[in-house]
Amino acid sequence: MSITKKSLFLYSFIALFLISPFSVSAEELSVPAYRFESQYAIDNSMTQDYFLKNGQENFSINFRQGASEQNLTLTLRELNFNDIPIGKTVDLNGKENNLERISLAYEYQISSAAELLPFNLPLAIDLKTEILKDMFDNTMMERKIMHYWNKENNVWQPLERESVGDINRNSVRAKTFITQNIVAMFIVKNQFEAWASWYPDALTPSSKYNGASNKYPIGTKVMVCRLDNLNKCVKIKIVSTGPYVDNRIVDLTKTAFKAIGNPGGGVVGVRVTLIKL
């Protein structure tokens, strides 16, 4: 049987491919499961933060004295981008809410040589992100919230204890009794966490519970809660625009400000939520 020039060329190409240096072994193709990994023997005698050693100190677990009497090992990891779980986000009631993820995903795991017993106190997970800016180079003030990957339902959902923002560190802390989790940061576009300031009541005499904001239409009613004590809140009506200071979400009348903080401090970290009528 004669071999055409076309067939000969094809056979030569296949043989060259099989013996070329571009062929690699399975071992060479393997990719580490994590970008970074740190491991600690937990010291039960003291309260301590354990940081992932990734050069950023943006992910840590706080283990409190008395949380457990066992000898424990803590492993912290930063996942590769392609290994981050993909799925919808839901709220605490399981309702889909389509939040946007703004961080990589991180994993922690607590283990013991013996059977792991329930903790006496919750763990505190701290996750820090870069400061996000809008097109005008203003700090984005949308609330950041930590979610964990629920692998049984294939969804991202909030931890059982509410995420609380730290404006100074641009981080979020959440508490949990779960001993192994993958967590990531998301943003809630209808809530804001930033600084609140105050002005004299006389500037808006229609009510002592007024305020100014650039994020809500005039006439909108909002709830303003102190970040370090979310039970300390005040209801106000937006009657003006402002304040024109970066990372400041609302300007309150002095009376309204007194309900959540000391006017002598000038500003206080707050969460602002729309009151639905």
pLDDT, one tens digit per residue, over 143-158 is 999 999 999 999 999 9
State residue 189's pLDDT score: 87
CB 60, CB 108: distance < 8 Å:
no
Q: Report, as an integer, the average pLDDT of 195-217.
A: 97
Report all structural domains of the chain as residue ranges with CATH numbers, in order of start.
34-191 (2.60.220.30), 200-274 (2.40.40.10)
pLDDT at 32: 63
Q: Which two tokens stand for residue 249?
A: 């979400």
Task: Decide the pairing of beta strands 73-79 and 34-41.
Answer: antiparallel
pLDDT of residue 31: 54
Mean pLDDT over all residues of the chain? 89
Provide the sign of the torsion angle of the four alpha carbons 184, 37, 84, 115, taken in this order. Answer: negative
What pLDDT sits at residue 22?
Answer: 40
pLDDT of res. 196: 98
What confidence tens digit (pLDDT) does each residue in 174-197 have?
Answer: 999 999 999 999 999 889 999 999
Spell out the alpha helix ranges (H) of the chain.
5-19, 26-29, 254-258
pTM score, whole prediction? 0.84
What pLDDT, on the 0 to 100 scale, is given for residue 28?
40
User: What does the pLDDT average to over 133-147?
Assistant: 94
Amino acid (1-letter code) at residue 230: L
Band (pLDDT 50/70/90 cuts) for residue 1 is: very low
Q: What pLDDT band is residue 162 in, cutting at 50, 70 and 90?
A: confident
Of 7-16, 70-79, 173-182, the one with minimum mean pLDDT is 7-16
Cβ count within 10 A of residue 173: 19
Minimal CA–CA distance to 182: which of 154, 148, 157? 148
